[in-house]
Amino acid sequence: MTSTLLNTRELSKATAKVLRDLPKTGPRVITRGGETVGILIPPSGGGIESDIDLLSRLRFGQALAAIQREAVLNGLDKLTMEEINSEIRSSRTGRKKQKAA
């Protein structure tokens, strides 16, 4: 599926037309000053609830990818299982101490 770039000025001038044509044109990437600020997507035949659910799963995937990217940048992707378990034990011990205090 292809998407078309649309700047905010064009969107503001022809909002009704863009929305009317969205099912035919497919996703539209909204830009401002050359930077992406949003995406307009036509609804699927599955209903708005399934579309919202799909978007929620997409956001989760984006968050997970960001966490994984950060882990790689910090070298945390190289931890052994023993090191991971040690971190978990340390964290749990710290929480127990906080609860006791």
Q: Encode pLDDT of 23-75 as tens digits.
A: 998 999 999 999 999 999 999 888 899 999 999 999 999 999 999 999 999 99
Same domain flag for 51 and 8 = no
Same domain flag for 15 and 37 = yes
Residue 96: CA count within 13 A, CB half-sphere: 6
2 — pLDDT class (breaks 50, 70, 90): low
Beta bridge partners of 38: 30
Is 0.85 topped by the overall pTM? Answer: no
Q: Domain containing 9: what range?
A: 1-42
| d(C-alpha 26, C-alpha 8), whole Å | 17
Same domain flag for 60 and 96 = yes
